[in-house]
Structure 1
């Protein structure tokens, strides 16, 4: 979507007999209703469902009389015309209890004849700590190129990066800086900062023994039940931390130790077998895991309740009754070592919960959409992919399917051999009564974390017991809501600092918290960490006829840029504007305004061909476009009445695939305010020049033989992932070459990277007559847990490509990982107040990693809330750029995004790659025509 507007199955029959995994019926009764959401915050999560071999469905076909009244009329009128779907064998899990479809029961919102088949989807990668490895230092080595020169272009470098001087690293150390290399810069003006970290003052001096815990019988999956069984032995296990599988204790109980417990409900004997797996000194990496367990326990002691993976203050909830939402403030914590100092990163967090259940959402959809099949499709479109929270244990799940052919009377077999419907299960375990026994079930595929806990089959959820989390797309477009929402969540630096300080002080004054810390010989500082940063000088913005300086505190030159000539302006002599009859006046006003604003840019613009349409249907636009667009058409502009996705996708597919020319989509709502028309026209004109291959502005790039590359990936559950690749192809880094790489679903690593790099280098050679001497790649969308994979998989592909371009070609290369999602925040301080650090602020000390070549950069201006820094980690560097120069180059590139005359959070090439990948993944669903590769057609 552009700045200007729109551009911006069959019934599944269970073939086995389902039974409950261990611990299915283990939890004792808990309060129902609203109290359950509070009191059951730590109740057991979903358990695994196990399907037996052979056998038949255990429950009979339910007649139409069992279908709920609300949908009966529509169902009866349509069921006869829909053929039955093929059966399939699968296993599933009810939230809080494993189940397999042993029932062919019809659901309230659909029956077996209308059911949707379940298709297995690859799992979305989850965050994991880096593995221990041997890695060359970030400044590179000399022996690497020959090792990769013999590799075929599409061969996978399974052996990882080249050998060199290495040393072992712990799980928090991935890529090392060269010994003796100073990773800290010195340029810029010093600035005093406070950050949202607190030091752990007293480091423990004990040896911590680690035990793997096994329960016999092995049928207890509930963490809460496991803790209850362990707590029966407080005399022996006095000071322990338990995460569900591993137990940490000061006591050395030998290699194997056994305890006898009694089940709280049944009284049955339970054996607890403890096997020692490690004796951890204080410097052990396992201490970080333990520290995080301790922090989470401190939050529980302080009265916060778990929702998903973070803790929130239920007593501080903020009701938004107009929008049927509740906002819960809370905190997130993370313990790690930063520059040799153990610290806790703590930040404010918010969770948005709908007051409307998913069941009520389904009711609303079926009341509004009369056609039954369309209503099902609408429900799937709106709910699949959403995150929901169960009201009985506050766990969150992603909705992957809606099981129209299953309902709460679905039977599963427990481990004791008895069968029980979901309705009875929730009644006995959570004291919750299911009001509508005909509603369908939601299906959530297990995450990697679930699979580690032994849950392998789908998790089944009851809509009545689920609430949606987050904000809907409709609310995001509601200005009044977003304004009210921002008042609560966009916290200014002073408020955030005060809230964090009060939280830390509260923990230090809580006797129970202090007792828990004392058990582990730990103490926590009362004040947030103070440190120094540096503010880099503002950049000079170079236009075609002059260079300007912006106001450093704002980093915005939109006003100055309106009247300046572009570096390379493209004339627009053959272009067409498509619009509906009711928007004719707006279209003409837009064209007139563009004629005025584009002249100062240096663009010679002829009056376009104006094509009026009878209506705004997608086919009407396409018919007119196919009739009017000719070989010499340079640009097509479509004025759209709304941002209807099917129409936008159809138009973009035509202009990017069938007849590749640059196109511009403009929403009429952006043209209706006359006092803003010239500003809108200016933005459209800049975009159109960039899409035609023009160059708008530049910054001074120190090297004339430098190529800059940006990469980012787009993921959509159930579809192939798309990686965008954008490289500069001229000395001033104002022209770009773009490609995309399709990947397996959720595969972050880019197997086709070598092909993109090869083509980009060939384009650079064609344009300049020489290859670049230095190449810096900024790789976005990579978490700390994926750094090692990027290093071992992507880096070799890059290094082996260079000699294949030209014999002996060995450019000085650097790879920089770009991370935007961290929880680190910085506050500038003076004698009277706290405020956001200005654009250009660099932090490369105190809260960085002592073994990484990394730094934080605040490049953008935040006019509301607390500014979020971007973390840059140089995992490979042979460019011989000084630290100051690498930081300065990164800041320069944040000025080069042509969709915004100001600085952005990431280097422009990363943002271009993001825009490209998003267009492909959201609208085109296939590669674009490569005749557009040298144009920013996706802006």
Structure 2
């Protein structure tokens, strides 16, 4: 099931729902809905001037888009950046006696590494001065807040919307003044807060604001949190699939083990030359309702960018009854049409006055479930599309050009970053600004040593060990008997009546693959689903044939394979929901077109056979971790940022000492809720299954917690860990069960390069970094676990925030790497430990397709793979 198909299906439902909502700033008396599409198939666009930056003059006006997004711009930036620095003041290492002296491991072969970090230096005695700024009455507009300070902040300042940082001290510790803005008199109070040294978390936060401002001073364009150089944009593709790539960089300045560094990584923004209006007009038919359905299918759920302010928005619906002729209220109380506003403010000419408007619900962020979000209206003609389309993916030359510019190998990435830092150091305006703050950036990449751990033995058959080659073992073990086979006593295959030949081939190849794995099986029952029927109805008829007294006892020995004619999300969701709730049965879906490629057909069938075995309770292989009676737990959360539905926390725990069986449970929470409640019940249930399998209580529970946002370390210490400790405290055992809690972070911009002679390459799988780019306050480390064929490998960051198991650095690093070998859906090493990824798959399936608790009878099976 492709992500694009799921997005489209979500979009259709979302479009119908949002069409009933009122848009902000619309006329008090609704105008008659215009006829769209217009009779002609296309109108020529008028001239559009270069996008103009938003103005922040007093009494200025903005359309709803800018009122909602820019009104508190500086304050929002401050809050986003502040979350990162909240983690930096949480000292978790001080509670762990076993790593208080040293947290550095020693195992493995030493390798020389470079990182995309550049040292930031300043004089140790240099001091900055922080002032709090208060407005009475409160001012929402970030630009207006900054404008009111214009004559008091001096030439050199950093302002985040709430606080002012200066490299000098003001004459008075407190300054109060008033200013007129429109009909409002605002009293501004500037009051001294404290002195900041260069390594203070607050000072680092201001440095990040300063550095982003220097990028803006070079006329780079901000899109989201990053800046892009649109003057070096690369255009490629044909007329229908023309694309534009903006080169850019993601940056952050933070304090690490021994120094402050600037982390810079290459980041590209893909933009389609086509506008949303172009796409809407490309769909032509006489049936207007069909056009609306197709337009919603193409647009809803996609991301568009408005070129006049370079901001991105998710399209959540289409307001067919709204047009650019509608009016909205400006900040001064006057009403103006969208047509006149964009002409006056941005010199943008809207040529089709009857085009419908796009609806965006605004930026939705984790932890903001109570924040009211007014819909934002966008003009399709002023919105360019982003991302890839099916047409682009099918275009070989376009995809090759895209890969050449975005999938940079270590050598190319190193070159681009060197060019970036040289640009910063040679720009006179930037350097003048940095000198005010006594900041200097090293031009050399940070250099240090890492260690590559020994290769992990993977046991497939009980007497056969294999060693990964380039991070994989699929080629050497594809026909080796499984570690724990599981017989297929009852199973059936559903297929579209149009795919009978493919279904027959799939049946034969599956039977061959399953027999080669040493699995006993009964013949499959084939069921054709006709066009007028549905897979769900066919499944219901089949299960109703079972006698009531035997239905429950046989269901879990009943594997369903669904051969789907296409990847429509609604069909997939109905099948999964029925087989995970109403009729709990392990199932496997595959799209017919996947099997139409002869070269990969045997490999796909073999993969399907392995997944079927896993979902029935079998085990493909195992890894000996060397730690006895340890339960491993993975926790991850799924947030539906499109439909704003409930957040799903996935909990997965090993229930055997050999890590071949797993227990799973979901916790359904309010939208955007990241910290998980209900972990006590989840862990208690997992421990009961462990005791059934092992006839004893585990000695330790080791948790890998994924999906935690910046600034939430303290929340984990205050809320999630106490829940687990409360459960472990009530276990009837002679010895206390110890707990280790490790935070996993995948979304990082740090990259490592292995030095090989005069060239750079990706570090080998198993490379550990626990110096230089770790923090003194944390028991943390990086691991490069997987191998990539193209581009630069991304490491994973691990932070042990609680540990009564007292895992030594060598032990926790080796253990974490070993667990990256235990994910049964990929015969190779993955980026995170297996329990983490199992939890992710579970939360994603429930959040995307099921939307309710799966039946508890499936909890001991990997049905979510």
* TM superposition score normalised by structure 1: 0.79
Specify whether residues 447 and 589 from structure 1 end up closer, same or farther in structure 2 by C-alpha distance, changes over 3 A only.
Answer: closer
Instruction: Identify the residue that residue 528 of structure 2 maps to in structure 1.
Output: 612
Task: Measure the CA separation in 1 of the matches of 2:352 and 2:697.
Answer: 68
CA deviations over 1:84-138 (Å, ceiling 9, x no partner): xxxxxxxx97122469xxxxxxxxxxxxxxxxxxxxxxx9x985645999xxxxx
Instruction: Identify the residue that residue 495 of structure 1 maps to in structure 2.
Output: 412
Tell me if 1:95 matches 2:65.
Answer: yes
CA deviations over 1:9-33 (Å, ceiling 9, x no partner): 676669xxx9xxxxxxxxxxxxxxx
Match among 271, 291, 296 for residue 353 of structure 1:
271
Q: Report 1:448-847 matches (<5 A).
A: 457-472=374-389, 475=392, 481-552=398-469, 554-615=470-531, 618-619=534-535, 621-622=538-539, 625-626=542-543, 631=551, 632=554, 634-717=558-641, 718-806=644-732, 810-847=736-773
Q: Report 1:48-127 matches (<5 A).
A: 59-63=28-32, 67=35, 70=38, 94-97=64-67
Specify whether residues 448 and 275 from structure 1 end up closer, same or farther in structure 2 by C-alpha distance, changes over 3 A only.
Answer: farther
CA deviations over 1:233-279 (Å, ceiling 9, x no partner): 7xx8132223344332213231333679999xx99999865333333
**Does the CA-based 8 Å contact 1:737-1:763 persist in structure 2?**
yes
Per-residue deviation at 1:697?
A: 0.4
CA deviations over 1:200-247 (Å, ceiling 9, x no partner): 132463332223446799778353x666675567xx813222334433
CA deviations over 1:570-621 (Å, ceiling 9, x no partner): 1123221222344223222222222332233220123212223334853564
Instruction: Identify the residue that residue 903 of structure 1 maps to in structure 2.
Output: 829
Task: Measure the CA separation in 1 of the matches of 2:162 and 2:718.
Answer: 31
Per-residue deviation at 1:862?
A: 0.6
Instruction: Identify the residue that residue 182 of structure 1 maps to in structure 2.
Output: 102
Task: Measure the CA separation in 1 of the matches of 2:226 and 2:2.
Answer: 35
Instruction: Identify the residue that residue 819 of structure 2 maps to in structure 1.
Output: 893
What is the DSSP-based 3-state SS (H/G/I as helix, E as strand, rest coil) of the residue aligned with 2:853?
Answer: coil
**Does the CA-based 8 Å contact 1:816-1:876 persist in structure 2?**
yes
Tell me if 1:912 matches 2:828.
Answer: no
Specify whether residues 474 and 173 from structure 1 end up closer, same or farther in structure 2 by C-alpha distance, changes over 3 A only.
Answer: farther
What is the DSSP-based 3-state SS (H/G/I as helix, E as strand, rest coil) of the residue aligned with 1:795?
Answer: helix
Instruction: Identify the residue that residue 860 of structure 2 maps to in structure 1.
Output: 934
Task: Measure the CA separation in 2 of the matches of 1:683 and 1:12.
Answer: 46
**Does the CA-based 8 Å contact 1:618-1:646 persist in structure 2?**
no
Tell me if 1:427 matches 2:351.
Answer: no
**Does the CA-based 8 Å contact 2:367-2:674 persist in structure 1?**
no
Tell me if 1:324 matches 2:247.
Answer: no
Tell me if 1:207 matches 2:165.
Answer: no
Task: Measure the CA separation in 2 of the matches of 1:621 and 1:364.
Answer: 38
What is the DSSP-based 3-state SS (H/G/I as helix, E as strand, rest coil) of the residue aligned with 1:671?
Answer: helix
Specify whether residues 267 and 205 from structure 1 end up closer, same or farther in structure 2 by C-alpha distance, changes over 3 A only.
Answer: farther
**Does the CA-based 8 Å contact 1:127-1:783 persist in structure 2?**
no
Per-residue deviation at 1:518?
A: 1.4
Q: Report 1:21-420 matches (<5 A).
A: 59-63=28-32, 67=35, 70=38, 94-97=64-67, 129=82, 171=89, 173=91, 176=94, 178=96, 180-203=100-123, 205-213=125-133, 221=141, 223=143, 237-249=154-166, 250-257=168-175, 274-322=190-238, 323-364=241-282, 367=284, 370-372=287-289, 376=292, 379-380=295-296, 382-420=298-336
What is the DSSP-based 3-state SS (H/G/I as helix, E as strand, rest coil) of the residue aligned with 2:744?
Answer: strand
What is the DSSP-based 3-state SS (H/G/I as helix, E as strand, rest coil) of the residue aligned with 2:730?
Answer: helix
Task: Measure the CA separation in 2 of the matches of 1:616 and 1:562.
Answer: 39
Task: Measure the CA separation in 2 of the matches of 1:779 and 1:320.
Answer: 41
Task: Measure the CA separation in 2 of the matches of 1:310 and 1:132.
Answer: 18
What is the DSSP-based 3-state SS (H/G/I as helix, E as strand, rest coil) of the residue aligned with 1:670?
Answer: helix
**Does the CA-based 8 Å contact 2:122-2:198 persist in structure 1?**
no
Per-residue deviation at 1:876?
A: 0.6
* TM superposition score normalised by structure 2: 0.86
Task: Measure the CA separation in 2 of the matches of 1:269 and 1:346.
Answer: 43
Specify whether residues 538 and 628 from structure 1 end up closer, same or farther in structure 2 by C-alpha distance, changes over 3 A only.
Answer: farther
Per-residue deviation at 1:856?
A: 0.5
Specify whether residues 666 and 268 from structure 1 end up closer, same or farther in structure 2 by C-alpha distance, changes over 3 A only.
Answer: closer
Specify whether residues 239 and 625 from structure 1 end up closer, same or farther in structure 2 by C-alpha distance, changes over 3 A only.
Answer: same
Specify whether residues 388 and 551 from structure 1 end up closer, same or farther in structure 2 by C-alpha distance, changes over 3 A only.
Answer: same
Per-residue deviation at 1:807?
A: 6.3
Task: Measure the CA separation in 2 of the matches of 1:598 and 1:829.
Answer: 44
Task: Measure the CA separation in 1 of the matches of 2:208 and 2:663.
Answer: 44
Specify whether residues 72 and 176 from structure 1 end up closer, same or farther in structure 2 by C-alpha distance, changes over 3 A only.
Answer: farther
Per-residue deviation at 1:805?
A: 3.7
Instruction: Identify the residue that residue 80 of structure 1 maps to in structure 2.
Output: none
**Does the CA-based 8 Å contact 1:782-1:819 persist in structure 2?**
yes
What is the DSSP-based 3-state SS (H/G/I as helix, E as strand, rest coil) of the residue aligned with 1:96?
Answer: helix
**Does the CA-based 8 Å contact 1:199-1:529 persist in structure 2?**
yes
**Does the CA-based 8 Å contact 2:662-2:860 persist in structure 1?**
yes
Instruction: Identify the residue that residue 922 of structure 1 maps to in structure 2.
Output: 848
Structure 1: runs of 5 or more not aligned: 19-48, 50-56, 74-91, 100-122, 134-168
Task: Measure the CA separation in 1 of the matches of 2:665 and 2:185.
Answer: 63
Per-residue deviation at 1:747?
A: 0.7
Task: Measure the CA separation in 2 of the matches of 1:498 and 1:669.
Answer: 40
Count of equivalent residues: 809
Deviating more after overlay: 589-598 vs 564-573: 589-598
CA deviations over 1:501-544 (Å, ceiling 9, x no partner): 12112222223222222111111111010111100001111122
Task: Measure the CA separation in 2 of the matches of 1:670 and 1:397.
Answer: 33
**Does the CA-based 8 Å contact 1:232-1:261 persist in structure 2?**
no
Task: Measure the CA separation in 1 of the matches of 2:282 and 2:651.
Answer: 42
Structure 2: runs of 5 or more not aligned: 7-16, 42-61, 70-75
RMSD of the TM alignment (CA)?
Answer: 3.6
Task: Measure the CA separation in 1 of the matches of 2:116 and 2:133.
Answer: 36
